[in-house]
Amino acid sequence: MFLLRHGPLDAEALRRAVASPEHGAVLVFHGDARASTAGRRVTGLWYEAFEPMALAGLEELAVAVRARHGVGAIACAPRLGAVPVGETAMVLAVGAPHREAALAATADYIQRLKQDVPIWKREHFEDGTRWVGSATDPQARAAARTA
């Protein structure tokens, strides 16, 4: 189950999608909108996607991560549009026979998602906004210089 939706996410539907009698471990990760980042107060987030490519990317990533970690099922639903502070911006559910594989697959999936799936986050502050990671974002440029 891979979804790109505006509005609140249904984490329980994703959990059910990956649960099975062969899966002793079901891990449900919620990426929630934090009230601050790098010491700066955040007033809300906004997500944009290149939707057909993002959906294809979520599925391809699942195939690769399932094969690498021997997990049985992956479901993922990033939320698009406005996400208020405290609400969930992304749910990832992983079902596996054992917890070690579920944990490793979760870490791996999220890391690749943040590199290779065309979804962009804009942070809103009291005095402005920034596209996270953008070439013209001062924080991203600083991170690139020190990397």
Partner 1 sequence: MRVQVRYFAALREALALGEESLEVPPGTRAGDLLDLLGARRPALAAHRAGLRRAVGTRFAEPGLLLQDGDEVALIPPVSGG
| Contact residues: a copy of itself, CB under 8 A | 11-12, 15, 19-36, 85-86, 88, 97, 99-100, 102-103, 106-107, 110
Stretch that binds partner 1, among 17-25, 65-73, 96-104, 119-127 (CB under 8 A): 119-127
Pick between residue 29 and residue 120 the one whose CB is nearest to a copy of itself: 29
Residues in contact with 107: Cβ distance below 8 Å, sequence separation at least 6, in sequence order:
none
From partner 1, a copy of itself, none, which one binds at residue 27 (CB under 5 to 8 Å depending on kind)?
Answer: a copy of itself
**140 binds partner 1, rule: CB under 8 A:** yes
Residue burial 103-128, b: 16+ Cβ < 10 Å; e: rest: bbbbebbbeebeeebebebebeeeee
Query: Minimum distance between the CB of residue 137 and partner 1, rounded to whole angstroms?
Result: 7
β pairing state of 119-125 and 128-131: antiparallel
**How far is it, in rounded angstroms, from Cα 93 to Cα 77?**
9
Distance CA 19, CA 1 (A): 12
Q: Which of the 8 DSSP states describes residue 48? A: E
Query: CB of residue 3 vs partner 1: minimum separation in angstroms?
Result: 11
* 62 alpha-carbon distance from chain centroid: 13
- With CB under 8 A as the rule, give the number of residues binding partner 1: 33
Q: Tell me if 24 contacts partner 1 by CB under 8 A.
A: no
Q: CB under 5 to 8 A by kind: which of partner 1, a copy of itself, none does 82 bind?
A: none
Asked if 7 is part of the footprint of partner 1 (rule: CB under 8 A), the reply reads no
